[in-house]
Structures are given as C-alpha cells and as structure tokens.
Amino acid sequence: MKKPVIVAVGSTRRPKLDAVREVLELLAARLTAGAPAEVRGFDVPSGVRHTPLNREDTMSGARQRAEALVAMARPRKERWKYFVGLEGGLDIVMEGARRHVFLQNWACVMDGQGTSAFGQSGGILLPDELVTSVVDQGVELSAAIDSFAGGEGIRDAQGAWGVLTGGLITRQDAFRIALISAFAPFLNRDAYSAKTQAGGPPFS
C-alpha cells in the first residue's frame, strides 16, 4: 500500500477540513498518484482581521495561513506535500452610489517548493442587516450570522452560505470550489507557466 500523502491545513474548523478531504478524494488519481491523502489541521494565524473587508485581505489571510504551515514544517523536517490556507471574507463593490457586499471564500495552496496558487469560491450577496452589523458596526461575521439566523455555531455547520441559500450551498461547498480552483496549476502544470504562478517560499 502506498504511503499516505500529508496535506497540512491552516485551520481546525470542520467545514474547512472536510472540504479539503472531499477535494483530495476527488483529485486523488491526478494529485497524489492514487496514494491516500491524510489531512492534518493546525491552528495558525491568518494575520488579518476576523472578517476581512476586502478581497486583498482575504487572499492575504489564506496565503499567510499556508506560509505559516511551511514555516512550521521546516524546523520539524516534516515532508508534507501540500500546504493549504483557507479564508472567508467580504468584497465591497460600489455600483454608482450603491454598495454591494459579497461573501467570498479563498484558498491558497503551496507545495513548499516555490509554487503557490489561489482559488476563489465566487460570491454571495449579504443582506443589509448583515452588512450593517459586520461592515458598519465591526461585528465578526460568525457572531452576526448566529444573531441573524437565531442559531449558534453556524460557521462550524452550514455557515452563512447555507443560511443565505437555504442549504443549497454550504460553507464547505464554497471552500471546496475555491480549493479545486487553487489546485488547477498543480493539475495542469503545462498550462501554467512560472510567470502565471504566484511564488511561495521554497521548502528547505
């Protein structure tokens, strides 16, 4: 039996870890040569606020989680294959005088050898009540969505995505889409030149 391929994830949240497991199972033949994948979650800092208010900060949060894993692996001489950072945040778009606020999930994948790539989930429009709480009043989205939906611990279940789509798209689903997109350069290396790949810190 082939040795498992270790994939480190910069979170211990269940929707994130389950999204990674789902994607690795889907891509096993192409990504790990059929070897089983073992997902290990670690609580690492994102370096950004709890609910990023623009896509640049959300992307930075995902990237910095992946970089923290690479930095963790070096002194421990861990031979992890992939390093995954996942982050959810907002994208505020002005259309004339009208403000649209979208929830987005981003993934950053690194291989520790200098190759990294981002993937995005797409976005879902937040209702005005949530926009007021999160953007204008500074409430963390996880607390705001609990209050909005009258629940508790929603981010560890269906998430805001599930609440707003009636369960058609969950938080895990959104991270799954972002992660598949982020793995595209690793699945199609010939199609992505070095110039189109974001450089990550090399593993040594």
What residue spans define the domains of the chain? 5-202
Q: Which CATH number fits domain 5-202: 1.10.10.350, 3.90.550.10, 3.90.950.10, 2.40.30.10?
A: 3.90.950.10
Separation of alpha carbons 62 and 105, rounded Å: 9
Q: How many CB atoms lie within 10 A of CB 113?
A: 12
Asked whether residue 114 carries a pLDDT value surpassing 70, the answer given is yes
Residue 203 has a pLDDT of 44
Tell me which H or E stretch contains 160: helix 159-165
Q: Which pTM does this prediction carry?
A: 0.90
Report how many helices (DSSP H) and strands (DSSP E) the chain contains, helices first: 6, 6
pLDDT tens digit sequence for 124-177: 999 999 999 999 999 999 999 999 999 999 999 999 999 999 999 999 999 999
Residue 204 has a pLDDT of 38
Asked whether residue 179 carries a pLDDT value surpassing 70, the answer given is yes
- Of the candidates 135, 175, 132, the one whose C-alpha atom is nearest the C-alpha of residue 156 is 175
User: What DSSP character marks residue 190?
Assistant: G
CA distance readout (Å), 202 to 62, 71, 91: 17, 10, 30
